[in-house]
A and B are shown apart, each in its own frame.
Chain A
Amino acid sequence: MPLSNEQSVSLWLHDLRQGEDSAAGKVWDRYFQKLVRLAQGHLRNSEKRVEDEEDVALSVLQSLCEGAAADRFHHIDNREELWVLLATMTHRKCVNRIRRNVALKRGGGKVVGEADLAKPSDSSQFGLNDFESSAPTAETLAILQEDYERLMQTLRNDEMRTIATLKMNGYSTLEIAEQAKMSERSVRRKLNLIRDTWIDEVDADV
């Protein structure tokens, strides 16, 4: 594992904020699109099974698909947002799982050499390379949902959770402000607070 995960997340976020042309941005975009497609497929199937309504309401896949269906992800710069944090957290778990499997195959408990993972990473490259090298799978979606619920639990109240959900659905600050009947300033402040709470959680997770 990278020496400092905290550094890895913040660098990853930093790279994403650098604009559309950055390698990190492109990788994220590709990954995100894959995630959306996967979620849409999954949701179509699951709808047939008629999920518990409350479950759907709080579903991360719902958020992802609604936003994609309304084409909201194209208008806003979503990269520095909550999705990245969530996906990073989830993705790490998946990668860890792969590492463990590889390690087991190689014969128990041995520390895995870096070459064993598809382009593994030094600390700053962690997110980028890992996202680049592995596509999300159905398992990813399950963990994503789990992580999403957990991250939502770290927020102070339902209002914060609603704002986080709206943001993940791709609404703009102004739209959220109008919907939540508060100033844009407050929406920005809450989103910053949500992001930092989640970064804290993501760091603690690994």
Chain B
Amino acid sequence: MSFHGLIWMKTRLEQRNQIDELCDRFEESWPVSATKVAGELLQKIDEGGRPELLCELITIHRERCLKSKTEFLIEDFRALLPNDSVDFDQLQARFRTDDLRDAATATKQGSSCLSEMTSQLSLGDRIDSYELKELLGQGGMSAVYRATDSRLNREVALKIVASSMADAVPRMQAEARMIASLDHAHIVQVFGTGTWSGGPYLALELVDGGSLDVLLSDELLTARRSAEIVIDIAEAVSAAHESGLIHRDLKPANVLMTTSGVVKLADFGLSRDLNLQSQTISGALLGTPGYMSPEQTTGSRPTTAIDVYGLGGILYACLTGRPPFRGANIPDTLTLIRNEEPVPVRRLAPSTPVDLESICQKCLSKDPLHRYASAADLRDDLAAFLEGRSVKARPVSLWTKALRFSHRNPVVVSLATCLCVALVAGVSGIIVQWQRAESNAVAYQEQFQIAEEKVEAASALQEFMRSVLGAAQAAKTGEKTDISDAIAAALPRVDEAFYEHPEIEAAVRETLGKTLRTLEQATVGIEQYRRSIELYEQVYGRSDFRTLHAIDGLAGIMRSLGNHDQRLEAIELRKFVLSERIRQKGEFHFDSISAMDKLSAALGQVGEFDEVERLTLKAMAALSRLPNGDDRMAESLQYNLAGAYWQQEKLAEARSAFETLIERMSRRIEAADPDSIFRHERIQLCKSKGTLALIVHDLGDVVAAEGLYRELLPEFQELEGLGHRRTLSVHRRLVRLLIERKKFEDALPFAEQLLQQHSAAFGPAAGLTLEVRRYLVSIYQNLKRIDRVEQFLRETVALTVKHREPGHDYIHQAKSELDQFLANRQDVSEALNDGGR
């Protein structure tokens, strides 16, 4: 080993000892405010050791939570270190592997212990009042006998669990009692519990028609039969949810059938206990986690939504004969569950009706919020499907397409394309798409709900949209004026089009307001927003999120397009929205943070920058406490803060704030799929760099400023074009800076190009163009190209004479500049001549 290697080893061991010591302290104080203690301990070690320490602390915390049966939430720890210093996915994957290993050990123990137990039993033996008749099956942790209850002379299935599971007895008994009290036709009944030979046993209703997975291995079910089965299971799950029980392990193997074809859900809440500390891997033990929900793979808190997902999994299996996800091995399958969409049902079973596929897909959404809110809702939608009524679930792929489309396109989407999407996706699609035009994750969530609620009254809106869009299509598409015309034509019709549906009229007016804002038509836009808010208030009340959203929109258009009084009103409106958000959702909610962000924007507009700074810091603190941060929101806040510092002339703070902002944005934009990044986001990034350059220049760091301008100019040229005013402004600043730094050779090509752009953009004798000509004069003079100066100044005079009316100031100015030059040159040459004599 090299000398350096040895040194490194020693340092490494020292650091590991240090980490070990800090872990000891964590263990000593556990469980008292574990997160807080972890945060403090992290401060006690060099930055380099922090990720490793945090991983250790989380692992210890998790182990002790599991052992003490308290809830483990990894989210609490996420905020302790900067985002990407710890790979949480990898950590979770390691936990998964540990669990599998522990479970394998437990099963091995259980299995040998179970064999020992069953070897003592022979048919005809009795366990309490149950006489064993036949061994129906034996797994790793339990064996099931057909048995007769001699007291009631009733046949039961007696499930004997390995005595290594003795810890689980009280809990199993409690749940068994609860299930017994449910007494549901579609849940396998529990007749009694007890212990035998140290392990728990359960006397269960004997269901002897086999399980659904065996049935599915032979045949696929019809759409109708599949829906019927899942309706029954959803009934059962719904009843259990009402009693606070979550199944957590829904899959065809747990759906039993009687000989007459009645389905019964088995292993309710019991199976989990067979898996010791690892709540989620029962499927894995049997070789297939294919029915596990995405949130279970990361060990989040179990909710009823995982059962809704599980029901979707059963439906999927009924229709296709396979689980939603099937990887080569368990880790692969878990990755698929987390990251991929299941193969569409209709690709595997083409005869499946679209509606049923949509229902299934809705259940299997990665995001629990996009699933049915309850098992009962799913049951109702399946019933609607069976009765031929329309279902709530909409074809998901179209949603996704529409979203991806609008995501890629600029603020105003071509209305002609809207029409196509509207015809295919239905009216809810178009609302979402329009609203989506101003990207806002939260608004989207809410709009989605709005759209969902509108479906039954869709035809009126669809008709209206068609007439508007038809008008737009007749005109040339894609240009702002055409869209304005179409909207102008549509406005009068809104009045009577939605007579019976004020809530739709409200949504339409809100959408129109938003579109008018992008068209910079303030007065009409504000009017639309105001009427939209009135209607929302009538229907939902002033505190409803739809109303709040429209109020926020109104504030937005007033802030960006309104006069001073309207800007002040915008602040009041946003203050109201913020207070409502906080009242409804608390300060540490994304919506409240978003409202703070928006209020900051309004405050900034009227120059209240100290208030912006205060509010933004508060919002940032709140955002850091959210379990899943939000990059765009973090950037938006950072931008507000940086801007506020700048405006208050806190230049050093502004510089570092802008640098942070630029670093974040660049990182995100580079990492993202190019299609998913808005063009305006790139422009925003460039603008921030431009501001940073100004600040840096003001701070006197001309080297950094020059670097920034040089980097920025080609970016702006590419994004905005050579002649855009922002491009030209950066271009001018670069040339001025180069002159200031006396880098005349460097400046010359930039200045010549700049002159060309200005002449083209503003005309050859415009004020700005003449300004650029002065830059060139100064460059030529310093480069000692005296002849070129004279020629250039004469040209300027000729241009002003030609393009300006006689007697214009610019002509005088140009002439006097030429005269001055000539006089100076005279002096210089005379001086030279004098010297020569």
**Interface residues, chain A, CB within 8 Å of chain B?**
6, 156, 159, 182-186, 189-190, 193, 196-197, 200, 203
Contact = CB atoms under 8 A, between A and B. Distances in A.
A186 B10 CA distance: 21
A193 B16 contact: yes
Interface stretch (B18-26, B361-369, B453-461): B18-26
A70 to B, nearest CB: 20
21 contacts: A156-B20, A156-B21, A159-B24, A182-B27, A183-B27, A183-B59, A183-B60, A183-B64, A183-B67, A184-B63, A185-B60, A186-B23, A186-B60, A189-B23, A190-B20, A193-B13, A196-B13, A197-B13, A200-B10, A200-B13, A203-B1
B9 interface: yes
Given A6-B1, A203-B1, A186 B24 contact: yes
Given A159-B24, A193-B20, A185 B1 contact: no
Contact of A193 (B17, B59, B60, B67): B17
Nearest to B21: A156
Nearest to A204: B6
Contacts of A200: 9-10, 13
Contacts of A186: 20, 23-24, 27, 60
B221 to A, nearest CB: 46
Contacts of B67: 183
B56 interface: yes
B63 A156 contact: no
A189 B1 contact: no
Contact of A185 (B10, B17, B56): B56
A184 to B, nearest CB: 6
* Shortest 6 CB-CB contacts between residues of A and residues of B: A183-B63, A183-B60, A185-B59, A182-B27, A185-B60, A185-B63
A100 B668 CA distance: 66
A6 B6 CA distance: 11
A153 B13 CA distance: 15
Interface of B: 1, 9-10, 13, 16-17, 20-21, 23-24, 27, 56, 59-60, 63-64, 67
Contact of A189 (B10, B56, B64): B56
Contacts, number: 38
Contacts of A184: 63
A156 B20 CA distance: 10
Main SS class of interface, A: helix
A7 to B, nearest CB: 9
Contacts of B27: 182-183, 186
Nearest to A196: B13
A193 B59 CA distance: 17
Given A183-B64, A186-B27, 17 more contacts: A6-B1, A156-B17, A156-B20, A156-B21, A159-B24, A182-B24, A183-B59, A183-B60, A185-B56, A186-B24, A189-B20, A189-B23, A190-B20, A193-B16, A193-B20, A200-B10, A203-B1
Nearest to B13: A197
Nearest to A180: B27
A185 B59 CA distance: 7
A78 B798 CA distance: 97
A63 to B, nearest CB: 22
- Name the residue among B20, B27, B60, B63 with the largest chain A CB count within 10 angstroms: B20
Contacts of A193: 13, 16-17, 20
B424 to A, nearest CB: 54
A183 B28 CA distance: 11
Contacts of B20: 156, 186, 189-190, 193
Nearest to A199: B9
A6 B64 CA distance: 37
A196 B59 contact: no
A182 B16 CA distance: 18
Contacts of B9: 200
A123 B564 CA distance: 84
B96 to A, nearest CB: 15
A49 B394 CA distance: 88
Contacts of B21: 156
A98 to B, nearest CB: 26
Nearest to A159: B24
Nearest to A7: B1
Q: Which of B17, B21, B67 is most buried by chain A, counting CB atoms within 10 A of its CB?
A: B17
Given A156-B21, A185-B60, A196 B16 contact: yes
B165 to A, nearest CB: 17
Contacts of A183: 27, 59-60, 63-64, 67
A183 B1 CA distance: 34
A185 B94 CA distance: 13
A193 B220 CA distance: 56
A115 to B, nearest CB: 29
Contacts of A197: 13
A200 B21 CA distance: 20
A5 B59 CA distance: 35
A135 to B, nearest CB: 31
A83 B245 CA distance: 50
A193 B23 CA distance: 13
Nearest to B12: A196
A185 to B, nearest CB: 5
Contacts of B1: 6, 203
A193 B24 CA distance: 14
Contacts of A156: 17, 20-21
Contacts of B23: 186, 189
Contacts of B59: 183, 185
A186 B16 CA distance: 12
B64 to A, nearest CB: 6
A80 B16 CA distance: 20
Nearest to A181: B27
Contacts of A182: 24, 27
Contacts of B16: 193, 196
Contacts of B13: 193, 196-197, 200
A203 B1 CA distance: 10
Contacts of B63: 183-185
Contacts of B64: 183
A6 B67 CA distance: 39
A178 to B, nearest CB: 11
